[in-house]
Structure 1
Amino acid sequence: MNWDLLSQLLLNGLIIGCLYGVVAMCFVLIYKSTQIVNFAQGEFLLIGAWVCWWFLTTWELPFVIGFLFTLAFMTVFGIILQTVVLRPMIGEPIISVIMVTIGLSLFFQAGMKWMFGVDVQPFPQVFEQENVEIFGMMIQTAYIMSLVISLFIMVGFAWFFKSSKHGLAMRATAFDQQVAQSLGISVKHVFAMAWAISAVVSAVAGVVIGIVNGVSDTLAFIGIKVFPAVILGGLDSIIGAIVGGIIIGLLENFAEYADGQWFQVGNLYTIAPFYVLVIILMIKPYGLFGTKDIERV
Structure 2
Amino acid sequence: MEFFFEVLIGGLLAGVMYALVAIGFVLIYKASGVFNFAQGAMVLFSALTFVSLLERGVPFWLAFVISLAAMVLIAVAVERVVLRPLVNRSPITLFMATLGLSYVVEGFAQALWGAQVHGLELGISDEPLELGGMLLSQFDIFAALTAAALVLLLSWLFNKTRLGLALRAVADDPLAALAVGIRLQRVWVVVWAVAGFVGLVAGLLWGARLGVQFSLSLVVLKALPVLIIGGFTSISGAIVGGLIIGASEKLAEVYLGPFIGSGIENWFPYVLALLFLLVRPAGLFGERAIERV
TM-score (norm 2): 0.91
Does residue 194 in structure 1 map to residue 191 in structure 2? yes
Structure-2 change in CA distance of 1:161 and 1:259 (3 Å):
same
Q: Give the whole-Å Cα distance in 2 for the aligned partners of 1:87 and 1:49.
A: 27
Amino acid corresponding to residue 290 of structure 1 in structure 2: G
SS of 1:133's partner is: strand
Task: Determine if contact 2:27/2:195 at 8 Å carries over to the other structure.
Answer: yes
Does residue 45 in structure 1 map to residue 43 in structure 2? yes
Does residue 235 in structure 1 map to residue 232 in structure 2? yes
Q: Give the whole-Å Cα distance in 1 for the aligned partners of 2:85 and 2:177.
A: 20
Aligned equivalent of 1:244: 241
Deviation at 1:206, TM superposition (A): 0.8
SS of 1:122's partner is: coil
Q: Give the whole-Å Cα distance in 2 for the aligned partners of 1:258 and 1:16.
A: 17
Q: Which moved more, 1:144-153 or 1:254-263?
A: 254-263
Amino acid corresponding to residue 153 of structure 1 in structure 2: L
Deviation at 1:260, TM superposition (A): 4.8
Amino acid corresponding to residue 294 of structure 1 in structure 2: I
Task: Determine if contact 1:45/1:220 at 8 Å carries over to the other structure.
Answer: yes
Q: In angstroms, what is the RMSD of aligned CA positions?
A: 2.2
Which of 76, 86, 91 is the matching residue for 2:88?
A: 91
Q: Give the whole-Å Cα distance in 2 for the aligned partners of 1:79 and 1:149.
A: 26
| Structure 2, unpaired ranges of 5+ | none
Amino acid corresponding to residue 154 of structure 2 in structure 1: F
Q: Give the whole-Å Cα distance in 2 for the aligned partners of 1:102 and 1:128.
A: 34
Aligned equivalent of 1:291: 287
Amino acid corresponding to residue 32 of structure 1 in structure 2: K
Deviation at 1:111, TM superposition (A): 3.7
Aligned equivalent of 1:164: 161
**What are the within-5 Å matches in structure 2 for residues 1-297 of structure 1?**
3-4=2-3, 6-58=4-56, 60-123=57-120, 125-127=121-123, 129-131=125-127, 133-135=129-131, 136-258=133-255, 260-264=257-261, 266-297=262-293
Task: Determine if contact 2:49/2:113 at 8 Å carries over to the other structure.
Answer: no
Identity %: 34
| Structure 1, unpaired ranges of 5+ | none
Structure-2 change in CA distance of 1:134 and 1:184 (3 Å):
farther
Deviation at 1:172, TM superposition (A): 0.6
Task: Determine if contact 2:129/2:138 at 8 Å carries over to the other structure.
Answer: no
Task: Determine if contact 1:22/1:154 at 8 Å carries over to the other structure.
Answer: no
Residues 206-255 of structure 1 show CA distances to partners (whole Å, capped at 9, x for unaligned) of 11111122111121111111011111111222222221111112122223
SS of 2:129's partner is: strand
Aligned residues: 292
